[in-house]
Amino acid sequence: MEQIVLDIKKALGGNDDFFIKRDYLLKKEVLLLGLSTLVDMTKTKTILQKQSEGLISQGKTSESIFILMGELFEDDTKKAITSVLEGKLIIYIEHTKKFIIYEPVPKGLNRSIEVPSNESVIQGPSNSFTEDIDTNIGLLRKQLTSNKLLVHSFTTGKNQKTKISLLFINGLVDKELVENINSLIEKNKSMDISNLQSMSKMLGFSSWDTVSKFNTTELPFHASQFLKKGRVVILVDQLPFALILPNLLWDMFIVESDRNFPFPIMITISCLRVIGALIALISPGMYVALVAVNPEALQIELALSVAQSREGVPYPALVEVIIMLVVLELILEASIRLPKSVGPTITMVGGIILGQAVVEAKLVSNLLIIILAATTIANSTLVGAQSSLSIRSFKYINVILSSLFGVLGLVVGLVFISSYLASLTTFGKSYLYLNIGRKEQ
């Protein structure tokens, strides 16, 4: 065997699914190299035979046929190994040191395009992204048929090869933004990308940001609308959602599929989400502030009924709120973790705990249950898993500040949160911008 084949064998031979098969193609001796788990050999061989026969009948020389069948390389072991790992078939022509990277019939390892599982659409296109990056790009191209949609692809990673694609609409997007992202990906090409944290490390974002720099969506429709607004979409192989850069505050409140409703209704729904964010941020803190520090701000009737509902509760309002908030977070987390068949159990048990038992046992006041329910429901109105998580964590700042300084603390907390949000920038674009796209020419 020749040196190059030996090198490849040395690198990949430890795998049981790696194969080297001797074969004849166009009366020449060839070696077929690949991974049997990624390549459907039977189908690939049939196609290979048919293709070569078809080309021979047109009277081409074997040399030119090889060039037509795939990319021809000479003496490039590294390229060969990468291609094998990507699921390509290497056709090595013996005694020539040349090999072809052939696109084989892949094993069906991808799921079909389904409706989104984490985002629901009331009225609007409901295809969702899958794990396969090429399918995802295809979905986007179908949503957005335009010659201005550009796709830049990169292969990154040292130990783990991952394909990343950068999509944007030429003319609408800020050129500087694209250049920045392009150069950062080029610079950090050796990083292994498998999740959002490594992705944000690659783009040089601080890992201590509480608000995600990426807005994520499962819906090609949403992604295409963001592209039209001048955002950049990054697709990562094996991640079934698109990353939209930069993430802006208003993405939390506005959903593209709302535009399928009449305008006044769309505005109302967006306002509802703003109210939802405020309730989620304020209400637990407000409870602590009014019950513990500033009861004079309550109406006397309310003050008396709150006092009565707290009668017999053994600990201060802050502890009461924190305990119940933690229980609530546990329920939320558990219902994500549990398989769908057991999920309803948690709802039921959690409902019993939060609904009645805890009040009857005089562990918390029943007003707090109302507050908690309002908080959780309000938090769920926000768009996007990333943003609603940040809001969910911000409310604790308000709770603690309220327990120290009352209503004043609550206001201070809101000012803190606002100034933090105002301080966030992504490649020079503030988080609070309404829109970053350029006007369509």
Partner 1 sequence: MKLSNKKVIYLICSLLTMVLILSGCWDIKDINHRLLPVSIGVKKVDDQYLVILNIPEPIDGSMETKIVSAKAETVSKAVDTISRNMESDVYLLHVKLIFIEKETAEDGINDIIAGFMRSRDVSPKALVAICDEDLQEFFNNIKINAEKKGLSTYNYFEKNAGWNPDIALTRVWEVFRGIHSYTHDVAIPLIRSGKDTTMDQIGSAILKRGKMVEQISSNETLLYNVFKGESGNGKMEVMEHATVMLLGSKTDNIGRLVNNDAHMESLIKVRVVILETKGEPSLNLIKEEINTLISERYNKLFTKLQENEADVFGMGQFFRNQIPRDELKNWRSDYFKNMKININVKIDIQNEGYLKTT
Nearest to 371 by CA among 289, 283, 297, 308: 283
At closest approach, how far in Å is the CB of 304 from partner 1? 5
Given 291, 328, 372, 383, the residue binding partner 1 (CB under 8 A): 291
Contact 386, 216 (CB under 8 A): yes
Q: Does 125 bind partner 1 (CB under 8 A)?
A: no
Q: Does 407 bind partner 1 (CB under 8 A)?
A: no
Contact 169, 149 (CB under 8 A): yes
At closest approach, how far in Å is the CB of 393 from partner 1? 17
Name the segment binding partner 1 (CB under 8 A); options: 23-31, 62-70, 124-132, 298-306.
Answer: 298-306
Q: Does 223 bind partner 1 (CB under 8 A)?
A: no
Nearest to 358 by CA among 324, 333, 331: 324
At closest approach, how far in Å is the CB of 409 from partner 1? 8
Bridge partners of residue 216, in order along the sequence:
243
What is the DSSP track for 356-425? IIHHHTTSS-HHHHHHHHHHHHHHHTSSSHHHHHHHHHHHHHHHHHHHHHHHHHHHHHHHHHHHHHHH-E
Given 41, 269, 404, 407, the residue binding partner 1 (CB under 8 A): 404
180/365 with CB nearer partner 1: 365
Q: Does 296 bind partner 1 (CB under 8 A)?
A: yes
318/346 with CB nearer partner 1: 318
130/403 with CB nearer partner 1: 403
CB count in 10 Å sphere of residue 69: 19
Contact 273, 384 (CB under 8 A): no
At closest approach, how far in Å is the CB of 292 from partner 1? 5
At closest approach, how far in Å is the CB of 294 from partner 1? 9
In angstroms, the CA 120 to CA 222 distance is 12
- Please give the size of the binding site for partner 1, defined by CB under 8 A: 24
313/421 with CB nearer partner 1: 313
At closest approach, how far in Å is the CB of 176 from partner 1? 25
Grouping H, G, I as helix, E, B as strand and the rest as coil, residue 112 is coil
Q: Does 292 bind partner 1 (CB under 8 A)?
A: yes
252/306 with CB nearer partner 1: 306
Nearest to 254 by CA among 383, 119, 126: 383
18/416 with CB nearer partner 1: 416
Q: Which two tokens stand for residue 237?
A: 């192989």
Burial of 95 (0-12, 13-18, 19+ CB in 10 A): exposed
In angstroms, the CA 65 to CA 50 distance is 13
Rg (CA), the chain: 29
Q: Which two tokens stand for residue 244?
A: 């939209």
Interacting residues with partner 1 between 302 and 361 (CB under 8 A): 303-308, 310-313, 316-317
Given 74, 300, 336, 434, the residue binding partner 1 (CB under 8 A): 300
At closest approach, how far in Å is the CB of 296 from partner 1? 4
**3-state DSSP: the chain helix, strand, coil percent, rounded to 5?**
50, 15, 35
26/404 with CB nearer partner 1: 404
At closest approach, how far in Å is the CB of 295 from partner 1? 5
Interacting residues with partner 1 between 231 and 290 (CB under 8 A): 290
Q: Does 293 bind partner 1 (CB under 8 A)?
A: yes
State residue 254 phi and psi, 5-degree precision: -120, 130
At closest approach, how far in Å is the CB of 6 from partner 1? 50
Contact residues toward partner 1 (CB under 8 A) are 290-293, 295-296, 298, 300-301, 303-308, 310-313, 316-317, 403-405
